[in-house]
Structure 1
Amino acid sequence: MDLVEHVSHINQRMAVHTKNKALMCKVFPSNLGPMVMRWFDGLREGSINSFKELTRVFGARFVTCNRVPRPLDSLLSMTMQDGETYKTYIDRYWEMFNEIDENFDDVAIRIFKVSLPAEHDLRKSLTRKPIRSVCQLMDRIDEYKRVEED
């Protein structure tokens, strides 16, 4: 579990109740896994005085559970391997792309294109008709996936 993600999820769910910090503390454990729930249940009554303190204590206890974002360089090292299916490569690419926190869509699109073999039809298509967004890239990929699956 990523603790930042968990706290963000709670904040989002409770956005309409942001003034009711006691309610936020009560809802906090609603999404916890078994190990974290044991920790939460083990907190002494009255040991936490605010939602802010709860998130701080939670973060300190489970700091090793933070997801470490990948740098953009992770995408730079990706290439479609000999014998790798198009679908496997696409899945690997999107998994890595989603682990990068910042918005580098234009770079990600270029990296995807150049990581395909030069003779690949999708690469040729992306060269002939450039795209401007990751959404457009996903649409174009889907077109080529359907062609490959047929």
Structure 2
Amino acid sequence: MALNTENDPLMCKCFPTSLTRPTINWFKNLARGSVDSFRDLCDKFISQYYGNKHPAKDISSLFTMKQHEEEHLQAFLTRFNLVKSMVIECHPSTAVRTFKLAMNQGILFHTSLVVNTPKTMDELNERADGFVRVEEKEVTNARKTSIISTEEKSKTKIRQKQAPSQRQASWKAKKRPKEEESVTPLKVTLARLYQENKDKFSSPLPIRQPL
């Protein structure tokens, strides 16, 4: 298309091939005969979507950035590079310096930047790749440890709930007298047993009156 920039009809016909929804719907809804040239089409497009344009930022936007306390390195890199892409005329060494100032001190990657400062953000991003992989592995291991700890706590609670019933059953078994197991059941009534053996019993002593 760079060889056909003066061919307005061709440029206008090829323009919608670079659009996706909902921009393609906007193009289809243009009134017939409302576009006089490719420049006119570009002006209409910019007027329609000017609100979507990201405003340009100055270098002060980078100096005000700060890595959050719990923000991972990958997330901060993405956020920093996005802001940097909107800064006009940012010198490579300035971008590296502002990134180093914005990082949380004490982490290994910050120490690496202090010991050997890269000259460009491309070098910085390339070096950060290894630290990002290490950080992601540590996060994965921490999640696995947390899951195992949670499962162990659940098992402990279940054992604690089961323990009282087991102790109660054991206590009842110990409380039951052993003689109870060897008692011979009666085959006659108590009344008949008394009639047959009443002569064998002696009369009880009389109750003494209180003084």
Offset, 1:138: 0.9
Counterpart of 1:51 in structure 2 is 38
Partner residue of 2:51 out of 64, 71, 74 = 64
Instruction: Classify 1:34/1:129 alpha carbon distance in 2 versus 1 (closer, same or farther; 3 Å).
Output: closer
Moved more, 96-105 or 48-57: 96-105
Structure 1 residue 127 corresponds to structure 2 residue 114: yes
How many residue pairs are counted as aligned between the two chains? Answer: 137
Counterpart of 2:71 in structure 1 is 84
Structure 1 residue 27 corresponds to structure 2 residue 1: no
* Structure 2 length-normalised TM: 0.56
Offset, 1:103: 3.1
Instruction: Classify 1:33/1:149 alpha carbon distance in 2 versus 1 (closer, same or farther; 3 Å).
Output: closer
Counterparts of 1:109 and 1:39, CA distance in 2 = 41
Instruction: Classify 1:148/1:63 alpha carbon distance in 2 versus 1 (closer, same or farther; 3 Å).
Output: closer
> Secondary structure of 2:130's partner?
helix
Consecutive unaligned residues of structure 2, counting only runs of 5 or more, are 138-211
Moved more, 35-44 or 111-120: 35-44
Partner residue of 2:93 out of 103, 106, 109 = 106
CA contact 2:96–2:121 (8 Å) conserved in 1: yes
Counterparts of 1:55 and 1:115, CA distance in 2 = 39
CA contact 1:70–1:99 (8 Å) conserved in 2: yes
Offset, 1:112: 0.9
Offset, 1:109: 0.5
* Structure 1 length-normalised TM: 0.75
Offset, 1:130: 1.9
Counterparts of 1:81 and 1:59, CA distance in 2 = 36
Calculate percent identity across the aligned residue pairs.
28
CA contact 1:114–1:123 (8 Å) conserved in 2: no
Counterparts of 1:86 and 1:61, CA distance in 2 = 37
Instruction: Classify 1:35/1:89 alpha carbon distance in 2 versus 1 (closer, same or farther; 3 Å).
Output: closer
CA contact 1:24–1:51 (8 Å) conserved in 2: yes
Counterparts of 2:12 and 2:119, CA distance in 1 = 43
Partner residue of 1:141 out of 117, 121, 128 = 128
Moved more, 70-79 or 97-106: 97-106
Higher radius of gyration, 1 or 2: 2
The structure, 1 or 2, with the larger RCO (C-alpha pairs under 8 Å, 6+ apart) is 1
